[in-house]
Amino acid sequence: MFLEKVVSFCYKYELVFLISLSMLILSCEGEVDPEPTGVYTLDAPSYFGPFEVPEENITTHEGVRLGRALFYDTRLSGDNSMSCGSCHQQQFAFTDGKQFSTGITGTPGTFNAMSLQNLLWDSRFFWDGRSTSLEDQALQPIEDSIELHQSLEATVEKLSADPDYPCLFEDAFGDEEITAERIAKAIGQFERTLISKDSRFDKYLRNEGTLTTLELEGYQLFSTHPNPRNGIRGANCADCHLGPRTSGSNVNFQGFHNNGLDGVGELRSGLEQVTGDDQDYGKFKAPTLRNIALTAPYMHDGRFQTLEEVLDHYNEHIQYSETLDILITEASNNTERNPGEVNLGLTEEEKTALLAFLETLTDESFLTNPEFSDPNP
């Protein structure tokens, strides 16, 4: 009797095991898949404005799943030690907390890692705008000699040797072939899903929450261009960090500005490197300020450690050069100004209010969303 019971239990157990094994195999073929499939709906509030997804790379659940796996896969680097996620860490809104990122060779680069959020609305990538799409951007860090430092051929070869990837590529693109183009497309799809839209500021905009008087005062200053003759005080931030997305314009190069970090002789080329136009000397991409409290250090060269330092820069340390943005030279709360003097003229209280507003842009659910994390930690 007793023996019989054990045997039948084993049999049942084995049957369950066999069924789940076959389900696993089937799901890999895409026939029985417990995970969502098909077109991935990019969910964004209407106040972010319209966006376009390239027709040749529609976002699908299968593509996003593959892109996420690739984004966190250290086999994208020459010595299998780093992935995109090493420099773009979710808890820092996909930055790395360093002034300059170091790649696999340990040599630091010369730019601060950019945050990856709400990229759907951007049309130019990198601080100097040299890349025109997420698909184009994605392959550059792989080949870059001070970042992941690996040829695309070697990357394709490594991934092809993996037991799971051919299947994931088949799910995403219809057959098992692994190519650099497909790697870029999948990463691009994953990056499009990185939407930050649930900060306290968003909840305020959607009437789901409130901001304090100090935060609202900061928001008012942030959004207002000063006009001292009419008694209007402002910090003019939204002149360049536009609308609820707080990022630069996505129309060609309009979102690139010289915000007065360096004077003549010290300025880095920036956008001029891409357009060859003298007028673009010292212009850089105006990034989104979402989750800005977590993405220190700041600016293309990570020169500022804190948001207080950033505000001091805009308020009292603007450096003059020929391409300094007119939105900055024209902006001051002081009625009396010496010729050529650039000084926003905010009070310490106003700076405190601005800072309080910037902190409302932190979006905990974005920073902890399990769908954006490493699938194989």
Kindly tell me which of 40 and 298 has the beta carbon lying closer to ligand HEC: 298
- In the complex, the smallest distance separating the C-beta of residue 252 from ligand HEC, rounded to whole angstroms, is 14
Indicate which single residue of 57, 86, 150, 275 sits in contact with ligand HEC (rule: CB under 6 A): 86
- Nearest CA to 358 out of 283, 302, 294 is that of 294
Is 236 a binding residue for ligand HEC by CB under 6 A? The answer is yes
Binding mask 180-209 toward ligand HEC (x if CB under 6 A, else -) reads -------x---x------------------
Residues 278-337, interacting with ligand HEC (CB under 6 A): 284-287, 289, 292, 295, 298-300, 310, 314, 325, 327-328
* Alpha-carbon torsion (92, 97, 101, 103), positive or negative: negative
- In the complex, the smallest distance separating the C-beta of residue 166 from ligand HEC, rounded to whole angstroms, is 20
302, 92 contact by CB (below 8 A): no
- In the complex, the smallest distance separating the C-beta of residue 287 from ligand HEC, rounded to whole angstroms, is 4
Stretch that binds ligand HEC, among 6-14, 18-26, 30-38, 85-93 (CB under 6 A): 85-93
Is 342 a binding residue for ligand HEC by CB under 6 A? The answer is no
Indicate which single residue of 48, 92, 111, 253 sits in contact with ligand HEC (rule: CB under 6 A): 111
Indicate which single residue of 57, 60, 99, 137 sits in contact with ligand HEC (rule: CB under 6 A): 137
Kindly tell me which of 27 and 249 has the beta carbon lying closer to ligand HEC: 249
Kindly tell me which of 69 and 328 has the beta carbon lying closer to ligand HEC: 328
* 332 token code pair: 């001051």
Find all residues with CB under 8 Å of 75, minimum gap 6, and list them.
155, 158, 159, 162
Angle at 374 between CA 16 and CA 125, to 5 degrees: 140
- Residue burial 113-138, b: 16+ Cβ < 10 Å; e: rest: bbbbbbbbbbbbbebbbebeebbebb
Query: How many positions of this chain bind ligand HEC (CB under 6 A)?
Result: 52
- In the complex, the smallest distance separating the C-beta of residue 28 from ligand HEC, rounded to whole angstroms, is 25
Stretch that binds ligand HEC, among 34-42, 57-65, 114-122, 167-175 (CB under 6 A): 114-122
- Nearest CA to 359 out of 314, 308, 325 is that of 308
Kindly tell me which of 53 and 327 has the beta carbon lying closer to ligand HEC: 327
Rounded Cα distance between 7 and 122, Å, is 63
* 73 token code pair: 């896969």
* 30 token code pair: 């895409």
Binding mask 145-184 toward ligand HEC (x if CB under 6 A, else -) reads --xx------------------------------------
Rounded Cα distance between 68 and 44, Å, is 19
Kindly tell me which of 171 and 280 has the beta carbon lying closer to ligand HEC: 280
Rounded Cα distance between 211 and 219, Å, is 10
Is 367 a binding residue for ligand HEC by CB under 6 A? The answer is no
Stretch that binds ligand HEC, among 21-29, 50-58, 235-243, 334-342 (CB under 6 A): 235-243
Stretch that binds ligand HEC, among 7-15, 38-46, 82-90, 334-342 (CB under 6 A): 82-90
Residues in the chain: 377
- Nearest CA to 235 out of 302, 313, 121, 294 is that of 313
Rounded Cα distance between 177 and 182, Å, is 9
How many other C-beta atoms lie within 10 A of the C-beta of residue 85?
20
**Tokens 């959607």 -> residue:** 206
Is 351 a binding residue for ligand HEC by CB under 6 A? The answer is no
Is 113 a binding residue for ligand HEC by CB under 6 A? The answer is yes
How many other C-beta atoms lie within 10 A of the C-beta of residue 32?
12
Angle at 256 between CA 319 and CA 110, to 5 degrees: 70
Rounded Cα distance between 226 and 231, Å, is 8
The residue ranges that bind ligand HEC (CB under 6 A) are: 76, 82, 84, 86-88, 101, 103, 109, 111, 113-114, 116, 119, 122, 125-127, 134, 137-138, 141-142, 147-148, 187, 191, 235-237, 239-241, 257, 259, 261, 284-287, 289, 292, 295, 298-300, 310, 314, 325, 327-328, 354
